[in-house]
Amino acid sequence: MTEEGQHPQALQQPAAAGVNEFPLPSWVPEWALHAPSMKVIPPGPKSRDVVKLDKEYVSHAYDRVFTFTIDRAAGATVADVDGNQYIDWTAGIAVMNAGWGHPAVVDAIRLQSEKLVHSFANDTYFDKEAELARLLSEISFSGRLKGTFFGNSGAEAVGAAAKLSTYYTRKYEFLSFYGAYHGRVGPALNFTSKLKYRFGFGPMNNTLFAPYAYCYRCPFKMEYPSCDLYCMHFMEEQVMNLGGSTGSLAAVIVEPVQGEGGYIVPPDRFMPFLRKFCDRNNALLIADEVQAGLGRTGRIWSSEWTDTVPDILVTGKAVGGGIPLGAMISKPEIMKRWRPGAHSSTFGGNAIQMAAGLAHINAIVGERLPERAASLGTYVMRRLREIQERHEIMGDVRGLGLMIGVEFVRDRKSREPLDITQLQVKCYRKGLLTLTAGTYGNVMRISPPLVISSEFMDRGLEIFEEAVRDFERDLTQAQAAAGPAAPPSAH
């Protein structure tokens, strides 16, 4: 990483965009051109009615962030049932990369649904399934990955990757990373590190965890590059030897840019190191591109930034353009080893999924959205760093393309994490939707639809800074109300 914590290759991104350099696409309807537009402080009365019904009947497991009820969305604007319109910096958790309501995706879904909804693709062949698998191969390291299994979510794709890895290698152990998020069902939960998501669901004992290259919070208190990537040596020498391995490592599963863990961009040597580590251990490398993939970081796959070709790649979220879809793509020699019937899903290759996926990926590639993300992302990072100079609590600004994280701390010296739930609330009450991430809930993630305009980004940045200022003021007032800090303990 560079001094500023930026991925070195990000420096080769195109020059920063200026205001209005990127307008919203011409298909965005008139109503969605003007955001934010706040009619009531959310949640408005109509939202509250739905929240009441929901609380009575829907599982509490869904831990809702926003208290409003979503109504419609277009481009990079989300509207609630009370008429509020928000600038969207979430893309619905990195799903709507080509923009909400992209006409090609909407038409594809409509036309396909009139013809065939359920393709019964376990037992019949379906043209769009083959076409989407071909398209995914074409955009995956010039066809070096070829052979796709379709499921319905990111976690399912991770589960399929785990099964394929054990089948292919005849081994059963996995290595994942601190802060990793790979989903919450089946094998995906084994690979997810956070206690909050694992608590009460043991035993899950075929996964070893190693430190991710999270340089801002290096567990070894070292600095890159002088550390010589010590975390990776620790993984190889300590975790593999003393961390409970049975010597049966099937695969390493990794997010090339960590998402839920805090939008962490590792140094450029991290992925190539893992590639070599897997080769040395006859293990497979699984790149989880569910959140970082499909243009978000400025490349189709974030692994491309370091020219690391994984053995298996998993994708989800954006791959279905808003329709639930997950896919696992592998090197052909690995996929070919699976016997027919080795894995299956009733809805795998579903007609609507395939039609929507084809339209969405064609839009991302055809409209050169990765390039747009790279250019706009460089501009946004520069603006955020200017804002950071004025606010001590903005500890780190990092990212690739339009996958940007801002890590909040009590002060830059101690780096004590600062929970930013209230900052997020302030943002959305002012009309800006953001999500948080990170082990301590102290990272704001900026992951808008890639078609967002420079104008919406600029307006969003103004709201963001206003909210940061209000948040700082609240912190100061809370501190004053609490009185002077207690003297240090004698112990």
* Residue 154 interacting with ligand PLP (CB under 6 A): yes
Nearer to ligand PLP, 217 or 317 (CB): 317
Question: Which of the ranges 59-67, 200-208, 285-293, 422-430 carries the binding residues for ligand PLP, by CB under 6 A?
Answer: 285-293
* Residue 88 interacting with ligand PLP (CB under 6 A): no
The counts of H helices and E strands in the chain are 15, 15
* Residue 255 interacting with ligand PLP (CB under 6 A): yes
CB 184 to ligand PLP: min, Å: 7
* Residue 322 interacting with ligand PLP (CB under 6 A): no
* Residue 129 interacting with ligand PLP (CB under 6 A): no
Instruction: Tell me which residues in 24-53 interact with ligand PLP (CB under 6 A).
Output: none
CA pair distance 152, 253, nearest whole angstrom: 19
Q: How many residues bind ligand PLP (CB under 6 A)?
A: 14
Question: Taking Cα atoms as reference points, which of 271, 364, 362, 340 lies closest to residue 311?
Answer: 271
CA count, 13 A, side-chain hemisphere, 317: 25
CA pair distance 333, 384, nearest whole angstrom: 45
* Residue 316 interacting with ligand PLP (CB under 6 A): yes
CA pair distance 424, 430, nearest whole angstrom: 10
Nearer to ligand PLP, 173 or 255 (CB): 255
* Residue 303 interacting with ligand PLP (CB under 6 A): no
Instruction: Tell me which residues in 173-202 interact with ligand PLP (CB under 6 A).
Output: 181-183
* Residue 155 interacting with ligand PLP (CB under 6 A): yes
- The 10 Å CB-count burial string (b at 16+, else e) for 450-468 is bbbbbbbbbbbbebbbebb
Find the binder of ligand PLP among 5, 43, 101, 259 (CB under 6 A). Answer: 259
Question: Which of the ranges 122-130, 139-147, 198-206, 288-296 carries the binding residues for ligand PLP, by CB under 6 A?
Answer: 288-296
Residue with tokens 């009370």: 82
Question: Taking Cα atoms as reference points, which of 122, 139, 72, 92 lies closest to residue 358?
Answer: 139
Please answer whether residues 400 and 257 qualify as being in contact, where contact means their C-beta atoms are separated by less than 8 angstroms: yes
* Residue 207 interacting with ligand PLP (CB under 6 A): no
Find the binder of ligand PLP among 112, 291, 330, 442 (CB under 6 A). Answer: 291
CB 325 to ligand PLP: min, Å: 9
Find the binder of ligand PLP among 84, 153, 447, 454 (CB under 6 A). Answer: 153
CA pair distance 256, 268, nearest whole angstrom: 10
CA pair distance 153, 121, nearest whole angstrom: 17
Please answer whether residues 163 and 179 qualify as being in contact, where contact means their C-beta atoms are separated by less than 8 angstroms: no
Q: Which parts of this chain interact with ligand PLP (CB under 6 A)?
A: 153-155, 158, 181-183, 255, 259-260, 288, 290-291, 316
